Amino acid sequence: MRRTLMAFAAITLVVGAAMWFVSIAGAQGGGTVEVEVKYGGTAQVEKLKVNKDTEKCGTEAVVEHVVVGGNKGLANAVASVPGAKGTTKAKAVIDQHGCKFVPHVTVMQPGEIEFKNSDDILHNLHTYSTANPSINKAQPKFKKTMTEKLEKPEFVKITCDVHSWMLGWVAVVPGLAGVTDSNGVAKIENVPAGKQKVEVWHETLGKQEKEVDVKAGQVTKVSFEMKGK
Amino acid sequence: MRLIIWASFAASLSLAAPSSVWAQAGDAAAGKGVYERKCLLCHGEKGDGNGAGAEHLVPRPRDFTKGLYKIRTTANKTPADQDVFRVISEGMPGTSMPAWGVLPERDRWNLVAYLKTFAPEQFKEAPKKLELPKEVSSSEASIKRGKEMFEAIECHKCHGSEGRADGPSRAELKDEWGQPIAPANLTKRWTFRGGATRTDIATRIAAGVLGTPMPAFLDAVEKPEDVWHLTNYIMSLGTDRPGFATLVTVGAVSGAIPDDPNAAFWKKTAPQYLPLMGQVIVDPRNFNPAIELVAVRAAYNDKEVAFHLTWDDPTESKGDGKQTFSDAISLKFPAQITAGTERPYFLMGDADEAVYLLRWEQGKGVGEASANGPAKIAPLAGGEATGAVAFANGQYRLVMKRPLAVKGEARPSFRPAQFTPVAVQAWDGGAGESGPKMSLTSWYYLRLEEPQSSRRFIIPPVVAILTLAAMILVVRTANRTR
């Protein structure tokens, strides 16, 4: 009898705790997807000698085509969950600083993006896109910010013709998304529970996708191994 | 496939219909026939710019499948039909695209309609007319403001500080197709792709040039009217078109002639412009010559003759001997000047008849040579040719001098009033030109102006005084006899 009681109490406790947990998670909107992107190949980082504006750009330019961090983690990859509608967040911002696009990869939801020029020299914002109208606008030193529209989902390359090594990417994604850090990890929070497709895109290594079962209130890990092209 | 194109074209036509104020609707089907007869060889059957002639052309022919048009008067990427029509009709200066104004107007509108079928998606969006700020006419103050803005928005990064396309970014520039592209030389308006009127220039500044590194500046100047100040400044950098010389005149001077190419003496001497063409007779041929204009100033005194040459070249190149070579220029004369009209073969002489070269080469200086063809050049020893060169902001200025009269069979002597054949050859080593790969002129004539003696200042007054004296004498004599 006592044993039965104990079992009953335990079950009640567990179920109660589970229900409490679910209700909390539900309030938060779902679970977290932790995307880990690995790359077995070598890093591709181009170094160029700078012949102008060295006081702003430095004497050596570094172009980050493939950045591999600790434990083969691939940085600058975009992980997204197309099925999870994003909520409007703060406007995406890219700074042209030290003759680099900072950050190298920016994620935004369709809409507006702000370009800063904190270099005090001329840059020109030149985008290469097909879904969105391509942009090629000058941003001289006195034009500190410029707002542009990218309204269609697309991975948009940005360059500056004045400083040809400058390279940046804007991932216009309708769903929740993140960019992998130097360890190749991106965390996407508040993903609705259930089966979700996770997409990973990298500027030189292409695209991959996987399906994950997101559990509310839990961290679901998913790992990708990018193949060299 | 063709069906799909036609279907999508029909769809795009029906979509574009409300904005047809722009269009003088052409017939694409009729345009296809004209395209295949006149355009296909360069622009390709599929309109992708990969025709048979494409590889010889710099810049390459337009790829119509991207729907990107350089020259447009619109604020968005869709060009107006009129923009495409104009390029077809007037061609693109400085490129291989000729003016097709010889075609009936109907055919040209039909071509516009057909070109649009190569990129139906791009033409779905109606062209939106670019509104230029209120025009500011040119004045000293406006040009000054334009120069300030030119510096503030750093046009010099590509176009160079004096506009000669020699900016520090010039070598890195690529077009949308990844092909190297040169910035415009702002001192040579006649090579502007989209025309050289004030409105053309202001439009390019405001809207940019699609598919090239040239960005739109309408929102990137301090005040909208700066677009016009910039235009006025750019207009002040050069002339509409140089007047080409037919005869090179060498002025007579009595004093010394300065070696310094930047001396005031040379600034006061009038330039005589000679157009150059690529050498395309022998291999390696030069289909895209880098130097297409040389300004000649010349003077002589009782001892020597001096030539001052000015030409644009974005880089001062000594060359690596593989991809790039030494910049060079030469003046060519017959080895001996005869009275007749016979002249040596214009391509640097031949086996039968040599030519004499007065030349300069980067790193080697001024010298003399004898040539029996473009590949058979032998330096002449014992000459007295001298000179000096200056390079600044994408321009060479060179003085070459030598004695008027010389001895020997290989060098000509110059005499006043004599018609002396002359020609120019130039090499932009930085652009890979060397040997037969050069630009050149055919034969011109050069004439040493006869010395103007001071008699013209003495004889007329003397005649006047004598006439007056004679008249007075006649009057007096007449008075006395009365």
Asked if residue A220 is part of any domain, the answer here is yes
Question: Options 1.10.760.10, 2.40.50.140, 3.30.56.10, 3.40.50.620; which CATH number does B140-235 get?
Answer: 1.10.760.10
Optimal mutation site among A49, A125, A132, A136, interface B, most CBs of chain B within 10 A? A136
Contacts A96 to B, Cβ<8 Å: none
pLDDT of residue A175: 87
Query: Minimal Cα–Cα distance from B157 to chain A, Å?
Result: 7
Asked if residue A49 is part of any domain, the answer here is yes
Q: The pTM is what?
A: 0.84
What CATH number did the domain enclosing A72 receive?
A: 2.60.40.420
Do residue A134 and residue B215 have CB atoms under 8 angstroms apart? no
Do residue A142 and residue B222 have CB atoms under 8 angstroms apart? yes
Contacts B208 to A, Cβ<8 Å: 136-138
CB pairs under 8 A between A and B: 66
Contacts of B470 (CB under 8 A, 6+ apart): none
Do residue B217 and residue A138 have CB atoms under 8 angstroms apart? yes
Cβ-nearest to A124 among B210, B215, B221: B215
Look at residue A22 and tell me whether its pLDDT is greater than 90: no
Contacts A125 to B, Cβ<8 Å: 215
Give the residue extent of every domain in chain B. 2-123, 140-235, 247-451, 457-482
Percent of chain A with pLDDT over 70: 85
Query: Minimal Cα–Cα distance from B348 to chain A, Å?
Result: 39
Percent of chain A with pLDDT over 90: 73
Distance, in Å, from the CA atom of B172 to the CA atom of A106, rounded to the nearest integer, reads: 25
Do residue A51 and residue B158 have CB atoms under 8 angstroms apart? no
pLDDT in tens, chain B (482 residues): 455 555 555 544 444 443 343 446 789 999 999 999 999 999 999 999 999 999 888 889 999 999 999 999 999 999 999 999 999 999 999 899 999 999 999 999 999 999 999 999 989 999 999 999 999 999 999 999 999 999 999 999 999 999 999 999 999 999 999 999 999 999 999 999 999 999 999 999 999 999 999 999 999 999 999 999 999 999 999 999 899 999 999 999 999 999 999 999 999 999 999 999 999 999 999 988 999 999 999 999 999 999 999 999 999 999 988 899 999 999 999 999 988 888 999 999 999 999 999 999 999 999 999 999 998 999 998 888 999 999 999 999 999 999 999 988 899 999 999 999 999 999 999 999 999 999 999 999 999 998 776 777 888 889 999 999 999 999 999 988 76
Query: Minimal Cα–Cα distance from B114 to chain A, Å?
Result: 22
The per-type count for chain A, helices as H runs and strands as E runs, is 2, 18
Indicate if ipTM > 0.90. no
Question: pLDDT band for position A34 (50/70/90)?
Answer: very high
The residue among A190 and A17 whose pLDDT is bigger is A190
User: What CATH number is given for B247-451 in this structure?
Assistant: 2.60.40.1190
Asked if residue A16 is part of any domain, the answer here is no
Domain total of chain A: 1
Asked if residue A39 is part of any domain, the answer here is yes
Asked if residue A12 is part of any domain, the answer here is no
Give residues 122 to 181 of A whose Cβ lies within 8 Å of B.
Answer: 122, 124-126, 128, 133-134, 136-143, 146, 161-164
Cβ-nearest to A138 among B153, B168, B174: B153
Distance, in Å, from the CA atom of A109 to the CA atom of A91, rounded to the nearest integer, reads: 9
Distance, in Å, from the CA atom of B54 to the CA atom of B31, rounded to the nearest integer, reads: 21
According to CATH, the topology of domain B2-123 is Cytochrome Bc1 Complex; Chain D, domain 2 (1.10.760)
pLDDT of residue A26: 45
Give residues 176 to 215 of A whose Cβ lies within 8 Å of B.
Answer: none
Cβ-nearest to B220 among A51, A138, A164: A138
Do residue A137 and residue B219 have CB atoms under 8 angstroms apart? yes
Torsion of CA B366, B372, B376, B379, to 10 degrees: -30
DSSP labels for A172-188?
Answer: E-SEEEEE--TTSEEEE
Asked if residue A19 is part of any domain, the answer here is no
Distance, in Å, from the CA atom of B216 to the CA atom of B207, rounded to the nearest integer, reads: 4
Question: For residue A136, what is the nearest residue in chain B, using CA coordinates?
Answer: B215
Provide the H-helix boundaries in B261-336. 264-268
pLDDT of residue B6: 54
Angle at B239 between CA B238 and CA B243, to 5 degrees: 135
pLDDT of residue A25: 44
Domain span at A112: 29-226
Which residue in this structure is represented by tokens 């030109």? B433
Asked if residue A21 is part of any domain, the answer here is no
Provide the H-helix boundaries in B286-367. none
Contacts B221 to A, Cβ<8 Å: 140
Cβ-nearest to B215 among A128, A137, A164: A137
Equal CATH topology for B2-123 and B140-235: yes
pLDDT of residue A127: 95
Query: Minimal Cα–Cα distance from A154 to chain B, Å?
Result: 17
Look at residue A18 and tell me whether its pLDDT is greater than 60: no
pLDDT of residue A9: 63
